[in-house]
Structure 1
Amino acid sequence: MQPDLLLASDVRKLDSLLRVMDENVIIKNEEAAISNESLLYDFDLNTVTSAELQSFGLPEFLADRVLKYREKVKPFTSSSELLKVYGMDSTLYLTLKPFIKIKALPESGKNRSESYYHSSVDRDTLYSRNKKNFSKSFKSQLIPFDINQADTAQLKKIYGIGAVYAQRIVDYRDLLGGFIRQDQFNEIYGLKSPNLDSLKIYAKVNPPLNVKKLKLNSITEKELANHPYISYQQAKLIIAYRDMHGDYNSAAELLNVKVLDSTFIEKVEEYLSFEAR
């Protein structure tokens, strides 16, 4: 398996996914495709270039993946197979779908026609116009957002993030006190590629980071152990040391608790505060 590709073994699952998509999203994107028809033209997934796909609104890395899928896996036989490409967003797919025209594959040794373009329009002109206008129109429908401000409705707009994952993301964020790095998304239970990679495309950790702090000098053992990075045993020892030696003044003082090390402290430090009782 190529590392940059998502190989779906069951096309019927993709078809089912399309059928149960929110009707409002489908209508919205069909209308967007119609309103931008002057900027788009019919194209064949088996002959389209990376530059052309970018002019339709695909980021460069995703356009290259479409070509890699075509070359390394197999030629496209239906428009829905575009969703097999790792990272393909359903919103963009629904906008492009009316313009995807796939010709039957030629017999071995024969050439295939590449003429799916409106001959009256210069391709370079189309590239320039599409990149400037259509990409801007598409991006306005689903743009990156602050993960620490997002609700489940916003998260569910991302391809591959349904109601269960959306709620799980919000619950984990609240347990943490807020995300401080994108690599923390890897800790969300059950979230794997391509869902994880789709999340990272749109969910950003934007400053200022207003994370919820654990008041180490007044927090209870139980409250401390509720944090995902702190076990019950660690919480018990931290509180016991505080009760014996007084308030903590910095995260470095946690090294005095013998079972804790610098790796633990680096992980939790940004979630701690040291106000005196």
Structure 2
Amino acid sequence: MQNDKTNILKSYLNYSKSQKIGVIMLFAIIIILQGYYFFYNFDVPKIDVKAKESWLSNQKSIDSLKFLAANSKNKTTIYPFNPNFITDFKGYKLGMKVAEIDRLLAFRKENKYVNSAEEFQIVTKISDSLLNAISPYFKFPEWAKNKKSNYQVYSKKDFYSKEKMVVLDINTATKEDLMKVYGIGDKISDRILNEKEKYGCFVSMEQINNIWGLTPEVIEKLNASFIIKSISNVKKININSASSKDLTKFPFFNYQLAKDIVTYRSMNGDIKIEDLTKIKGFPVDKIKIIALYLEF
């Protein structure tokens, strides 16, 4: 052991001046770090209770500001809506948390409806600030406003029949008529009218299903509020005389199908309604609708 210490000392004495300084600095750093470890207080500082309470009180304001910021950034106009029919996307846009949206959806799966802003908060557990921000846009049926008890169970039939509903012809409906349906705003109403304009008129309410942006709930309400009464303005195309270019203008036909129709026509003569299923690529699942737009 004595020899080992002597050897280490001899080795140190043989170091150059810069090596000796390096060894001394290394020992100095080790001593400093050891001292810091033993004397520094690593305990987690206690949270100031008053500061915590102040932070929690500001959270309500944060919820409201997030809602206002999101809508001002997107420059989205919010139209009155029935909160019973909020979708995941709609809830997200309003500033609701996933858990809050899930509580509402679970409540609705039980075939129940909220009839006031207060009941909406009880079910979803949203903050007061967020409720104050979005509740002015809530639109409940008149009969629901007079209900005294919460969480009553209603069938969908009862929910709509309580209000006097006038069923209109969707082909003569105005933008204002469409926007009276919960869930339909300015953009979606324009989308419906533009779709109708492409065909001159709708021949089946099934065509509503093809309009982008309509949720199943909104489609259900449209079918309850509108029907097809007249198709006098329908734009018909003569399948036996139209060129492939003219056929491609028909919304149901793409370029390839238009070519296949003309090819079939040139090889087999005039097309009859029963021949449509024989044409390659023809959308047979929509044949009943398409046939109403064709002349033979």
Q: Normalised by the size of structure 1, how large is the TM-score?
A: 0.50
Flag the structure with higher helix content: 2
Bigger radius of gyration: 2
Q: Normalised by the size of structure 2, how large is the TM-score?
A: 0.47
